[in-house]
């Protein structure tokens, strides 16, 4: 194995490992702020993976939008909830949940083993086709993944989805204003009900709102 | 890949090394004399109060999510600016119709008072 | 220019919504002490109806005659199928905004954002129905869904509304993620994101799998088969969530009950119709070639099981509800089940099955809007009619309010001279002629079972009196709601009296999906 391939593998495995550790930290830590930090770690590692695919513009966007803005938004929401963001330990339905987790793990293991088999199959198939001369590795244009190629693609081929995305962003803005803006006395504090209020609410009370 | 991004990785490594150097240097070389008062969380020299979780107002959320949305819109403008000349009128019109929607969103935000810091 | 004409249903809606937003923002002044202009609901409704009229205009001009639509390829497909759904969805959105024009001021939750969200959700549903590529499909789906999530949470002071919106949002995002993951797998297996190319590649892979050769378009070879299958299952799960069929229906009753009633009616009508449009397109365009596919042969069977489960569970649970609004939520699940029977029927005779579905959706849209409108009309400020008890005796005290309500319920139940009856008839006929006799019988038995809970409302309306001390419902007065009810009633009766004309429209729309 040449040094370049070996370095590439090391880089990939490091990034993937960090991404996995970050994802596990996100879902397993009881402290939501630690969870958000795990998410940040995962996002950064995935940006690294994008880089290894030569998608440098995507990697930069990943850093700007996800690591920069989305994680901050997550932290804001966690801070919004205050100390109650810490989830109390929930001992209800422990047995079904364990079964669910077990089934999911089993499914995950099955998918992973299938993917490994698929990978072996693909490399065998590729080798066979390459030996027969019917397959060549795809050549990537030299500017692939850069802002140049991305812009050309975005503003020529994918113009329609680009224009449509403005509607999506607009809906996000209106939705945020509709849900989170505090006005008319029914203010921010009431917009986020406590758990007690949720359990107390009945259809009859609702009717009087 | 490493040929292309080599300088960037080099920069990252050097930055990490310098940070590590300062941190370990301060820990190893600096004289230490801990007292209970010194070990308390530092809060601008005054007595620290309250828990470490403070409750923010929902106003922060609105500002943050509006920031995210406009941030994403800004992302689209970079590649457009790169190709501004080659795209010609089509590019100009398509970007301006996109921006028109964004501007309506902005006007809506301002007029609705979503960007105001209410009390 | 041709392009703008072909896109006029979309552009009308988008421009109208933007203008309304600007007008509302200008009227809001500096953002303090704002009063919502009463014309906003009217403007929103007119925008939707204009979009509906634009769709009709393009339809009658003949979309085949319009040239220069290649620019849109493969992102948006403008054909009669799309135009039918554009008209239907815009009609649903317009009627829902009329309902909102009466409901929101009455219950003092009127804020201008409601109409903007409603219009852009409708636009998202239109994009969804026209989508010819996974990218536009997802954009349309999310535009529609984000708007509806916000509409569900619109009544901010109510914990129920917040809970409903949270459930809907989390589950909906999860379903969207499943859908996207499924499409990612399909892209990995075929190298296509456009539905037509995807369909071609799936066909190649499937025929290769059948003949035992590695004929896939990529080096995956025979391994592409399982990848496509796995992707297909995920895509189907995501779409079935959106139409709220049974294994993925859990969010429906809560979200429908927690949302303000006009938003509920919009969810029941436009979200469902948009999801069915995309379900039909994905199934028939990407996975339509059932003769050559050994494993894809499975989807009619899978959908048949989902349909049977959906109808049975929804009808059984709907009969046990205390709340009429929740009952209508379960009823909308049951209707998804009947529509899925039609989807199964498309596997034999595509045009007959699809036209049955389109006809059914037409009748379902107006009857559902009408039923929720009747529920809105039965309550007034501070006393929204929600439960069956609230409706007791309404028919004697206020016959004018109860009569249209009864008509829409009869249509939903499928009683003969209404639109609902013919919808069920065409779907069952297509299923029967397709050879799915067991499924037809199950669907028929279910519609008999379903009649029970609609009749229960009628019993409360006309044969019960409110209990002693119980609050007596007095109907609200609103021109907007009255107009919406009148339009819906007109369509229910018209389609019921002259089903052949609507059916021929539905058939032409369905035929365009098969290149006819």
Instruction: Please provide the size of chain C in residues.
Output: 516
Residue C472 CB partners (closer than 8 Å, separation 6+):
C393, C397, C466
CB contact under 8 A, A171 and C133: no
pLDDT of residue B35: 85
B104 touches chain C (CB under 8 A): yes
- Clarify whether residues A14 and A72 are in a common domain: yes
- Clarify whether residues A13 and A56 are in a common domain: yes
Q: Closest Cα to residue C345, out of C412, C442, C440, C232? A: C440
pLDDT of residue C276: 95
- Shortest Cα–Cα distance, A173 to chain B (Å): 6
- Percentage of chain C modeled with pLDDT above 70: 93
CB contact under 8 A, B108 and C21: yes
A116 touches chain B (CB under 8 A): no
In this predicted structure, the answer to whether residue B49 has a pLDDT above a threshold of 70 is no
- Clarify whether residues A55 and A116 are in a common domain: no
Q: Residue C36 is encoded by which pair of tokens?
A: 């919502």
Q: Closest Cα to residue C38, out of C483, C477, C370, C480? A: C480
CA dihedral of C459, C491, C262, C27, whole degrees rounded to 10 = -140
Q: Which residues of chain A have pLDDT under 70?
A: 1, 83-88, 182-209
Convert C193-213 into a string of H (helix), E (strand) and C (coil).
CEHHHHHHHHHHHHHHHHHCC
- Shortest Cα–Cα distance, B92 to chain A (Å): 10
What gap in Å lies between CA B79 and CA C313, rounded to an integer?
Answer: 51
Give Rg (Cα) of chain B. 25
- Residue A174 and residue B108 in contact, taking contact as beta carbons nearer than 8 Å: yes
Among the partner residues A135, A160, A197, nearest to C76 by beta-carbon distance: A160
Question: Based on the number of CB atoms within 10 Å of its own CB, is B75 exposed (0-12), middle (13-18) or buried (19 or more)?
Answer: middle
CATH number assigned to the domain comprising residue A65: 1.20.120.1200
Phi, psi of C37 (to 5 degrees): -70, 135
Q: Closest Cα to residue C187, out of C144, C137, C145, C142? A: C137
The predicted model gives C159-180 an average pLDDT of 92
pLDDT of residue A40: 95
What gap in Å lies between CA C446 and CA C450, rounded to an integer?
Answer: 6
pLDDT digits (tens, 9 = 90+) for A139-176: 777 778 888 888 888 888 889 999 999 999 999 999 99
DSSP assignment of chain A: --HHHHHHHHHHHHHHHHHHHHHHHHHH-SSHHHHHHHHHHHHHHHHHHHHHTT-HHHHHHIIIIIIIIIHHHHHHHHHHHGGGGSPPP--TTHHHHHHHHHHHHHHHHHHHHHHHHHHHHHHHHHHHHHHHTS--PPPPPTTTTSHHHHHHIIIIITHHHHHHHHHHHHHHHHHHHHHH--BTTB-HHHHS--HHHHHH--HHHHHT-
Q: Residue C298 is encoded by which pair of tokens?
A: 């499975």
A190 touches chain B (CB under 8 A): no
Interface ipTM: 0.90
The DSSP code for C107 is T
Say if A115 falls within a structural domain: yes
B57: left (phi over 0), alpha (psi -120 to 50) or beta: beta
Q: Which residue range(s) make up the domain with C57? A: 2-28+37-513
CA angle centred on C407, ends C403 and C413, rounded to 5°: 140
Helix/strand/coil for B46 = coil
Name the residue in chain C with its Cα closest to that of B101.
Answer: C18
pLDDT of residue A201: 41
- Residue B71 and residue A68 in contact, taking contact as beta carbons nearer than 8 Å: yes
**Within 13 Å, how many C-alpha atoms sit on residue A199's CB side?**
2
Say if A30 falls within a structural domain: yes
pLDDT digits (tens, 9 = 90+) for C457-474: 899 888 888 777 777 777
pLDDT of residue C133: 94
Among the partner residues C18, C28, C116, nearest to B111 by beta-carbon distance: C28
CA angle centred on A208, ends A194 and C381, rounded to 5°: 140
Say if A25 falls within a structural domain: yes
Q: Residue C328 is encoded by which pair of tokens?
A: 């209508």
pLDDT of residue C17: 94
B108 touches chain C (CB under 8 A): yes
**What domains does chain B contain, in order, with CATH numbers?**
2-112 (1.20.58)
What gap in Å lies between CA A204 and CA A9, rounded to an integer?
Answer: 62
Phi, psi of C469 (to 5 degrees): 85, -10
Q: Closest Cα to residue C512, out of C203, C281, C271? A: C281
Helix/strand/coil for B113 = coil
- Clarify whether residues A34 and A60 are in a common domain: yes
B-contacting residues in C 176-235 (Cβ below 8 Å): none
Among the partner residues B104, B113, B116, nearest to C22 by beta-carbon distance: B104
pLDDT of residue A199: 41
Which residues in chain B have their CB less than 8 angstroms from residue A147's CB? 78-79, 82
pLDDT digits (tens, 9 = 90+) for C367-399: 999 999 999 998 888 778 888 888 888 888 888
Structural domains counted in chain A: 3
pLDDT digits (tens, 9 = 90+) for C111-131: 888 999 999 999 999 999 999
Convert C363-398 into a string of H (helix), E (strand) and C (coil).
HHHHHHHHHHHHHHHHCECCECCCEHHHHCCHHHHC
**Residue that the structure tokens 């119980």 belong to:** C470
In this predicted structure, the answer to whether residue B7 has a pLDDT above a threshold of 60 is yes
Which residues in chain C have their CB less than 8 angstroms from residue A193's CB? 159, 162-163
What gap in Å lies between CA C166 and CA C128, rounded to an integer?
Answer: 23
Strand partners for C380 = C383
Among B104, B106, B117, the strongest candidate for a mutation testing the C interface, having the largest count of C CBs within 10 A, is B104
Question: Based on the number of CB atoms within 10 Å of its own CB, is C474 exposed (0-12), middle (13-18) or buried (19 or more)?
Answer: middle
- Residue C369 and residue C322 in contact, taking contact as beta carbons nearer than 8 Å: no
**Residue that the structure tokens 């963001």 belong to:** A85
What gap in Å lies between CA C123 and CA C75, rounded to an integer?
Answer: 15
Segment among C181-190, C235-244, C297-306, C369-378 with least mean pLDDT: C297-306
pLDDT of residue C151: 94
CB contact under 8 A, B58 and A80: yes
pLDDT of residue C297: 59
Say if A128 falls within a structural domain: yes
pLDDT of residue C210: 52
Structural domains counted in chain C: 1
CB contact under 8 A, B56 and A79: yes
Phi, psi of C387 (to 5 degrees): -90, 170
Residue B46 CB partners (closer than 8 Å, separation 6+):
none
Residue C74: is the preceding peptide bond cis (ω within 30°)? yes
In this predicted structure, the answer to whether residue C344 has a pLDDT above a threshold of 80 is yes
Tell how far CA B85 is from the center of its chain: 30
pLDDT digits (tens, 9 = 90+) for C26-82: 877 654 445 666 788 999 999 999 999 999 999 999 888 888 888 888 899 999 999
Q: Closest Cα to residue C144, out of C254, C269, C60, C27? A: C269
Q: Closest Cα to residue A178, out of C285, C486, C199, C119? A: C119
DSSP assignment of C256-267: HHHS-HHHHHHI
Q: Which residue range(s) make up the domain with A45? A: 8-84
What gap in Å lies between CA A37 and CA A29, rounded to an integer?
Answer: 10
Q: Which residues of A174-208 are buried (b: 16+ CB within 10 A; e: fewer)?
A: bbbbbbbbbbeebebeebbbeeebeeebebeebbe
Name the residue in chain A with its Cα closest to that of C72.
Answer: A160
Name the residue in chain B with its Cα closest to that of C32.
Answer: B113
- Residue C126 and residue C85 in contact, taking contact as beta carbons nearer than 8 Å: yes
- Shortest Cα–Cα distance, C169 to chain A (Å): 12
- Clarify whether residues A177 and A131 are in a common domain: no
The kind and range of the H/E element at C139 are helix C134-152
Say if A75 falls within a structural domain: yes
Q: Which residues of C372-399 are buried (b: 16+ CB within 10 A; e: fewer)?
A: bbbbbbbbbeebbbbbbbbbbbbbeebe
Angle between helices C272-281 and C134-152 (to 10 degrees): 160
Which residues in chain C have their CB less than 8 angstroms from residue A164's CB? 75, 127, 136, 139-140, 143
Segment among A97-111, A119-133, B74-88, C484-498 with least mean pLDDT: A119-133
**Residue that the structure tokens 């509304």 belong to:** C161
What gap in Å lies between CA C55 and CA C80, rounded to an integer?
Answer: 9
Residue A1 CB partners (closer than 8 Å, separation 6+):
none
Residue B65 CB partners (closer than 8 Å, separation 6+):
A73, A172, A176, A180
Strand partners for C133 = C194
pLDDT digits (tens, 9 = 90+) for C268-295: 999 999 999 999 999 988 887 655 444 5
pLDDT digits (tens, 9 = 90+) for C72-109: 888 999 999 999 999 999 999 999 999 999 998 888 88
Ranges A125-134, B82-91, C232-241, most confident: C232-241
Which residues in chain B have their CB less than 8 angstroms from residue C32's CB? 113
- Shortest Cα–Cα distance, A138 to chain C (Å): 11
DSSP assignment of C29-75: TTSSS----THHHHHHHHHHHHHHHHHHHHHHH-GGG---GGGGTTT
Model confidence at C211, pLDDT cuts 50, 70, 90, reads low
For residue C248, count other CB atoms closer than 10 A to its CB.
Answer: 21
What gap in Å lies between CA C334 and CA C336, rounded to an integer?
Answer: 5
pLDDT of residue A1: 57
């Amino acid at each position: 194995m040449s040094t370049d391939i070996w370095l590439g593998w090391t880089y990939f495995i490091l990034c993937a490992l960090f991404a996995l550790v970050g994802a596990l930290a996100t879902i397993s830590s009881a402290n939501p702020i630690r969870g958000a930090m795990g998410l940040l770690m995962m996002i950064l590692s995935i940006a690294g993976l994008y880089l290894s695919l030569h998608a440098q513009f995507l990697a930069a966007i990943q850093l700007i939008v996800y690591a920069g803005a989305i994680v901050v938004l997550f932290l804001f929401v966690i801070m919004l909830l205050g100390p109650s963001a810490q989830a109390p330990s929930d001992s209800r339905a422990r047995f079904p949940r364990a079964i669910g987790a077990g089934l999911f793990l089993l499914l995950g293991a099955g998918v992973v083993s299938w993917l490994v088999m698929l990978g072996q199959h693909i490399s065998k198939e590729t080798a066979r086709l390459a030996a027969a001369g019917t397959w060549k590795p795809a050549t990537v244009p030299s500017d692939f993944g850069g802002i140049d190629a991305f812009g050309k693609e975005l503003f020529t081929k994918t113009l329609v989805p680009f224009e449509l995305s403005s509607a999506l962003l607009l809906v996000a803005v209106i939705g945020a204003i509709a849900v989170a803006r505090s006005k008319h006395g029914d203010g921010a504090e009431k917009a986020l009900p406590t758990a007690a209020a949720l359990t107390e609410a009945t259809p009859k009370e609702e009717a009087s709102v | 890949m490493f040929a292309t991004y080599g300088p960037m990785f080099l920069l990252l490594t050097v930055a990490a090394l310098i940070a590590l150097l300062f941190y370990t240097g301060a820990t190893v070389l600096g004289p230490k004399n801990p007292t209970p008062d010194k070990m308390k969380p530092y809060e601008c020299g005054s007595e620290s109060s309250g828990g470490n979780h403070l409750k923010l107002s929902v106003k922060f959320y609105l500002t943050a999510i509006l920031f995210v949305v406009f941030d994403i819109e800004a992302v689209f403008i970079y590649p457009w600016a790169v190709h501004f000349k080659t795209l010609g009128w089509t590019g100009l019109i398509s970007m301006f119709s996109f921006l028109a929607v964004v501007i309506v969103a902005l006007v809506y935000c301002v007029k609705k008072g979503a960007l105001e810091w209410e009390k | 220019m041709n392009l703008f004409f072909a896109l006029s249903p979309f552009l009308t809606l988008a421009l109208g919504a933007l203008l309304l937003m600007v007008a509302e923002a200008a009227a809001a002044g500096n953002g303090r002490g704002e009063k919502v202009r009463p014309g906003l609901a009217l403007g929103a409704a007119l925008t939707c109806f204009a979009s509906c009229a634009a769709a009709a205009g393009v339809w009658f001009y003949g979309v085949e005659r319009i040239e220069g639509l290649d620019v849109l390829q493969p992102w948006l497909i403008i054909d009669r199928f799309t135009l039918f759904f554009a008209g239907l969805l815009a009609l649903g959105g317009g009627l829902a905004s009329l309902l909102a024009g009466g409901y929101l001021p009455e219950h003092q939750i009127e804020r201008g954002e409601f109409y903007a969200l409603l219009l852009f959700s409708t636009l998202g549903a239109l994009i969804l129905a026209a989508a010819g590529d996974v990218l536009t499909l997802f954009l349309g789906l999310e535009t529609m869904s984000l708007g509806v999530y916000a509409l569900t949470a619109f009544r901010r002071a109510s914990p129920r509304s917040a809970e409903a919106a949270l459930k809907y949002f989390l589950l909906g995002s999860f379903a969207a993620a499943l859908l996207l993951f499924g499409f990612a797998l399909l892209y990995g297996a075929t190298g296509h994101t456009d539905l037509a190319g995807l369909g071609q590649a799936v066909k190649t892979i499937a025929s290769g799998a059948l003949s035992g050769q590695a004929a896939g378009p990529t080096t995956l070879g025979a391994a592409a088969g399982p990848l496509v299958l796995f992707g297909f299952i995920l895509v189907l799960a995501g779409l079935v969530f959106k139409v709220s069929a049974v294994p993925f229906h859990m969010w429906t009753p809560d979200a429908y009950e927690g949302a303000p009633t006009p938003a509920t009616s919009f969810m029941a009508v436009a979200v469902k119709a948009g999801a069915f449009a995309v379900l039909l397109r994905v199934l028939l365009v990407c996975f339509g070639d059932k003769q050559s596919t050994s494993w894809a042969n499975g989807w009619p069977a899978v959908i048949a099981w989902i349909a049977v489960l959906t109808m049975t569970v929804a009808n059984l649970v709907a009969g046990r509800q205390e709340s009429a609004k929740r009952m209508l939520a379960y009823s909308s699940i049951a209707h998804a089940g009947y529509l899925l029977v039609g989807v199964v029927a498309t596997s034999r005779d595509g045009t007959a099955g699809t036209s049955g579905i389109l006809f059914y959706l037409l009748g379902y849209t107006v009857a559902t809007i009408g039923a929720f409108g009747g529920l809105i009309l039965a309550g007034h400020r501070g006393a929204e009619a929600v439960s069956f008890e609230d409706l007791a005796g309404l028919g004697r005290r206020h016959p004018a309010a109860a009569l249209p309500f009864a008509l829409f319920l009869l249509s939903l139940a499928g009683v003969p001279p209404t639109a609902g009856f013919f919808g069920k008839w065409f779907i069952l006929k297509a299923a029967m002629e397709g050879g799915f006799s067991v499924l037809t019988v199950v669907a028929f038995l279910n519609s008999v079972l379903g009649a029970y809970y609609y009749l229960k409302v009628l019993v409360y309306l006309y044969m019960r009196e409110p209990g002693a001390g119980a609050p007596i419902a007095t109907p609200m007065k609103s021109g907007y709601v009255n107009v919406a009810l009148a339009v819906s009633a007109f369509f229910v009766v018209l389609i019921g009296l002259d089903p052949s004309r609507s059916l021929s429209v539905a058939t032409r729309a369905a035929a365009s999906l098969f290149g006819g």
